[in-house]
Amino acid sequence: MKNILENEKVFEAYATIDCCYYLLQEAQNKLSKSKSPVEIMIDKATGYDKLEIEQMKKDVIDLLNQIIEAKKIIEVDYDNERKILKLFNYARSSI
C-alpha cells in the first residue's frame, strides 16, 4: 500500500476511492428509502422504477470500476470489488 502523500496520482486515487464509497452509500440510502403507496403505484404505472434501478446499476458498476482502477494505483487488494462486479454481470445476463 502506497502512502497517501507519496505523489499527486496516489493522493488522487485515495480521493477517488473515498468519493466513490460515499456515492455508493448515497445510492444505498436512496434504495432503502421507503416510498408511499401512491409513489409506488405511480412508479410502477410509468415504469420509472425500472428505469431508476437500471440507471443506478450502471452508476454502481461505474463507481466500482473507478474504485478498482484507483486501488491498482495504490497497490491494494480489490478482490471484493471484482466479486461485486461479477455479481452485477451475472444479474444482467440472467435478466
The domains of the chain are located at: 8-94
pLDDT tens per residue, range 41-83: 998 899 888 888 889 999 999 999 999 999 999 999 999 999 9
All three cell numbers of 93: 445476463
pTM of the predicted structure, to 2 decimals: 0.82
For the chain, give the mean pLDDT.
Answer: 88
Q: Please write down the HEC assignment for all residues of 28-91.
A: HHHHHCCCCHHHHHHHHHHCHHHHHHHHHHHHHHHHHHHHHHHHHHCCCCCHHHHHHHHHHHHH
Please report which helix (H) or strand (E) contains residue 3, including its range: none
